[in-house]
Structure 1
């Protein structure tokens, strides 16, 4: 606007073409300075420039209307340009900290260095001039050269500023692309960009190498069907159908295939986007193998917790009911004995004593099982294997249970080699034998037969306790070794049974890496079997 007013000098009032025009020119330079500061994010105070503009207007008005002097006006204009140019030069070369940014602003700095030098020379020239000129259109040749140089600079200035802004724009675009590229490739999941029309992948991040074992160059230009990425072909069709109808797929779980053929579960999110006027698909595949394992562990923990709760309930049930039963018998018949002795009545006293003994024996066996089972569950049970004679251990157990078997007139046959040496925990195996043979006696009727057999296998010793008792149904066989499903049945002489003994037997056999199971037929009898692995003496 200032240049336009100067151009019409002689046709418009002097106040508009001289003071106002030049103030507008100076103000435009100050505005340029402020714009460059904002461009470089280096805003500063401009009070001094406002004061400079006011002083400039006063001086210029004085030498226009009161004492007309073109040389003085030229010095005033040149001095204002020098001050503002110096500020722009300092901003371009010193206040712009990053070296990369200085490369962008350097051209503007050089341009205003030229402005600064020309205006300093202009000041020197006008100060040395002796003649006073008041007519703008009668300037000397040198003044015309100064004016021409200013016009050239004015023409170069928009080009230089545009060039600077373009360079800055390119740098910003490159930075944004670098940020996107870093985020794209640093993402811990697979991100692909593919064409909607044919599914050809044209961009994929580096995580694909860690998750699927494919190299980036193996994938570019291929679609998922050609790469055989889908674990099930029907999943790909479901995915495409959902994407076509909704425009997106959110966290759908599918099975994917690695380059090696290994399958893995993945959560997939995809959306149709438009790139360069072409529909494309951005897909994100997250490997959720660890999450699935965590979910499985959680379900297993839940099952274990339920089992522990069931075990606790069963334990309290045994204490509350089964352990109380024999003590009720002991206390009841002890009371009868005491009363009869006071009355000197000794009739049936031996029978009551036998009942008390049997109840005490049962209570002791139950307490023993409870203590050993609780130690096993709490981890306090120590596993101390040693070389033991299994046949001697069986014979010792039969001696302990001789009274029980003779009361029912049960004949027990032992069909075994002279001795069998096993590497096992003696106390645990004693408990296993005691519980299994005791159960066989309980469920074998009077004058029945129990056969105990041992057999040496290729890698283990097999022990079988076969009774001729009441037998167990197929459904109840599955409950024998589970505390929460334990099967309890009274013996042939109404002997009580908790089912805890067999649970304890399974725990102890598991300690030995062995197996225990039962085969039975109702009305025929039960074959309770367990095996202990052979141990090579050279290893131990």
Structure 2
């Protein structure tokens, strides 16, 4: 069965629809006037009145005045063209407009929407509107006829009232049903058969020349349409039957026309009888059709509600069993089958106390009925699934009542508590497990509600003795007052929980707890809020860990670190004093040594007398030793200045390639008499920002070491290159190398490798220290790649200079 869906509000007419109805009013009015009996004062049926009411009822109220004027003009034009007297026509046309206004006002009174024909109250509203409109036009017509004609006013009133009331009650429902938007049952074949039967019956009964009293014959077919077909079909067929009955009766057809032809009744009486027949047909079929459609709508809503109920039951995770008042199961949802393993047909028809999943020996299962009509019964029981698994279920039983409050069914809902009970047992086991962490539950008033085994082992108190005791009693009283500012347990606890931050816990902090035997324990304590989904705060949870030994160890470690720091500070001061002493001694030693070297040179050049050959050799030895001492003093002073930061470094653009070229000339005296393959190479300008003299000293020191530690027949290579944002200086040799395990101390002062010492190679051990300090002062770094007897490669990396492209910029 197709069921109509819910209808939406009636749409209001636009100007195009209003113009169409005005044209229909004109056509219907003209036809009614032309087809009116010549002996009668008015038309037998006037459908234009119903169309006028529908026009205003379906239009916005703001257009009613303009539409009423339009109805007056159109109706008057139709009547004048049909041959009516203009003066009488103007009165009738004005009355038609007032009729439409009155009837539309009644239809739309107290509501923004147009009646939707959803119930008999809508038909009553149409009837009242029709009566109001028919009464208004009857008053206009009666006054006009009495004033302008000699026609019997009673005949005018009777004819106008019945014809216009019939028009409103027949045409307006048809217009409202056509304007409504709702899904409708489609029975094309049945509609075709019914329509043919109705046409045949109407033609047979009301065809001209037939006078048998069979006017009831079309009514069963109209009732057929009202019971089985759509409301729109019923109202349209009623309009068609009304037009046919009126037309045929005017030409002597049917019982009403036959009585008029043979003079049994007058024209006005015959017209009134026709309209009463039409009113009877409308009152018989339209309310019936509305009631049937309302029933279809209710059935649809019930079906939707039933489907929703079925979907709700089957998609609910809870177990649901529905029984009658005797306890026989009449409905179960899919959750019952999914959880217990028993199919629906195995449970339906069985008594609730005879469920197959009930544990053996259970009675009153799952739960008894409530003693109070509105009460519930809750009970937790076990259950055994088809597979033999045991589960825990919380059952609740209550009555389902009808609209009078009488119980009709019993609904039993079950919630699976198996996982919850298992989790609760696990939590209880964890709380009682042999752990060293103290877990203490606290209620909002600050009293202990949970005291786990870890807390018992830590403090020595028994769990039963501590439940209900204020939590702050486990904290040392002096420390509690010091940190919270109160000795009162309530105020102290309020101050303690007031430190809980937005993340829901206090920061971890050490507190002193007092055990049962008076022991003072250092405990790392965290206090947090305990809550659930229904309440933001149900209490607090304190987590405590004994850190007494750890804190003692930490204090010892801190004390040891402090002693080490003091020792390091003393060593730093000693090293600083040593450096200062060395710098002072070097400075003080350099002056007399320089004087000695100077006087030696005076003796050598014969200023005070020509020295003998033996004296010359001695003076040369003194000069060499003095210059070595001066060089040593210079190295020590340079290192002291670099370490202290007092050495001034010029920041000029220096081309390392130029330094390499200059070093090649400076190294010739050292290479004299040596069999070494020396290669000085550069790839082009390699510019850095730095002190030319210090960088030149770096290069000379590296080359001097390469020459010193490379045996004859070896190779020395010096090159410069650019790698990304770095300037690179590489000095490599094939000399005696440096053991890998000694390379970490290579740049320490006075350090000389074991290989150099074994070979008695002279040196102070300051050259590489100066190189490292100078490179670090220039923001660079040094890489060393070497091994014992495998040569050495030292790579110096310095930041490249960013030279401005403007004229006159330094290079």
TM-score, normalised to structure 1's length?
0.42
TM-score, normalised via structure 2 length: 0.30
